[in-house]
């Protein structure tokens, strides 16, 4: 928790902490800690090297080793997700630990208040223990999504990878886009809604947040192009099948404006469905949820906000 929240040393000899947190011009300059995997850093002697010319640094340059690591990571997805979210394995481990050690955590909080500002890296604004837990839960989910999208080895054969499958229910929510009700072929997977990229590109086309779904031939991957009107290919907004189905985690890379991005997606019956909040965040599109009427509201005139 201290490391991801930036509660670390900022002395010059501790530069690796600032690199880990992508601070300033270091790391990828994103100023967050859920991105980056410095053990896979190819420039072990460069300004962003955290481990130097070590045996693990050399080992991670080996494509076969990276494939083994990523394959194992896919195999453990149920256990990893269960750290921060309830799934088929039971309650989230965070919640299990809270029930068992709540009194101990509360005593620690009184002795070491988390609201104390410690240095420029300290990015959290939580003033209660519950808010701190929410921060950690969010970090774990974002970290897992980033690793799934960015740890993929070059020329990784996803067909031979272990399949990560989840039950998917058709989304029963009403969807309003810029004030207009639109029917989507969408699914709910573990509490999150997943939509087809081309369906979203179609309904946002002509707005200030429009994007094109293109193909990046040099890396053989989808490239989303900001600001370009969408070109329909046929089949957009088609009705989907009814009933619960099985979905498989989609592990291919995806790009936005030629830069790799992190989006969670599942394949259902040959079509890829992307997490709605990932896409709306990527293009800064406002998204809201009205629980009483079970309505999802998408507004390109608004900016994205975390729930």
3-state secondary structure 199-262: HHHHHHCCCCCCEEEEEECCCCEEEEEECCCCCCCCCCCCCCCCCCEEEEECCCCEEECCEEEC
pLDDT tier at 8, thresholds 50, 70, 90: low
CB atoms within 10 A of CB 213: 19
Strand partners, 176: 181, 297
Rg of the chain in Å (alpha carbons): 21
More confident residue, 94 or 217: 94
**Over the chain, what is the mean pLDDT?**
82
The pair of three-digit structure tokens given for residue 2, joined into one six-digit string: 């201290």
Measured CA to CA, the distance from residue 20 to residue 15 in angstroms comes to: 9
pLDDT tier at 44, thresholds 50, 70, 90: very low
pLDDT tier at 90, thresholds 50, 70, 90: confident
Question: What average pLDDT does the segment 246-261 reach?
Answer: 88
In 3D space, the residue among 127, 139, 4 whose CA is nearest the CA of residue 84 turns out to be 139
Strand partners, 267: 248, 272
pLDDT of residue 42: 47
CB 208 within 8 A of CB 283: no
List, for residues 151-182, the tens digit of each pLDDT value.
777 777 766 666 788 899 999 999 999 999 99
Which of 38-47, 147-156, 201-210, 224-233 is least confident?
38-47
pLDDT of residue 54: 60
Q: What is the DSSP letter of 151?
A: -
CB 73 within 8 A of CB 164: no
Question: What average pLDDT does the segment 191-219 reach?
Answer: 93
pLDDT of residue 6: 58
Question: What average pLDDT does the segment 125-134 reach?
Answer: 75
pLDDT of residue 183: 95
Measured CA to CA, the distance from residue 283 to residue 278 in angstroms comes to: 9
Residue whose tokens read 């519950």: 130
pLDDT at 224 over 80: yes
How many Cα neighbours within 13 Å face the side chain of 293? 9
pLDDT > 90 in the chain, percent: 37
Backbone angles phi, psi at 278, to 5 degrees: -65, -45
- Burial category of 264 from C-beta neighbours within 10 Å (exposed 0-12, middle 13-18, buried 19 and up): buried
Measured CA to CA, the distance from residue 188 to residue 170 in angstroms comes to: 6
With vertex at residue 65, the alpha carbon angle to CA 63 and CA 68, rounded to the nearest 5 degrees, is: 110
pLDDT of residue 194: 96
- Does pTM surpass 0.85? no
């Amino acid at each position: 928790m201290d490391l991801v929240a930036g509660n670390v040393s900022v002395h010059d000899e501790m530069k690796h902490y600032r690199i880990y947190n992508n601070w300033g011009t270091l790391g990828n300059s994103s100023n967050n800690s859920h991105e980056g995997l410095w053990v896979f850093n190819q420039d072990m002697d460069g300004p962003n090297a955290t481990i130097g010319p070590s045996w693990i640094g050399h080992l991670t340059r080996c494509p076969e080793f990276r494939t083994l690591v990523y394959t194992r990571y896919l195999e453990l997805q149920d256990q990893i997700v269960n750290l921060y979210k309830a799934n088929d394995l039971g309650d989230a481990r965070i919640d299990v630990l809270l029930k068992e050690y709540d009194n101990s955590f509360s005593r620690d909080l009184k002795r070491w208040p988390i609201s104390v500002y410690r240095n420029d890296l300290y990015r959290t604004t939580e003033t209660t223990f519950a808010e701190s837990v929410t921060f950690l839960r969010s970090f774990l989910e974002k970290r897992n999504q980033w690793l799934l999208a960015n740890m993929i080895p070059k020329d990784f054969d996803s067909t031979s990878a272990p399949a990560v499958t989840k039950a998917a229910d058709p989304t029963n929510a009403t969807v309003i886009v810029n004030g207009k009700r639109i029917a989507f072929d969408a699914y709910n997977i573990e509490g999150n809604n997943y939509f087809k990229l081309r369906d979203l590109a179609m309904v946002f086309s002509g707005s200030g947040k429009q994007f094109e779904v293109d193909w990046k031939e040099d890396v053989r991957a989808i490239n989303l192009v900001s600001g370009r009107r969408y070109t329909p290919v046929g089949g957009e907004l088609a009705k989907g099948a009814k009933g619960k189905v099985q979905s498989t985690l989609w592990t291919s890379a995806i790009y936005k404006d030629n830069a790799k991005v992190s989006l969670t997606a599942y394949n259902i019956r040959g079509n890829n469905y992307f997490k709605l909040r990932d896409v709306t965040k990527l293009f800064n599109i406002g998204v809201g949820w009205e629980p009483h009427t079970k309505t999802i509201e998408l507004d390109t005139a608004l900016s994205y906000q975390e729930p």
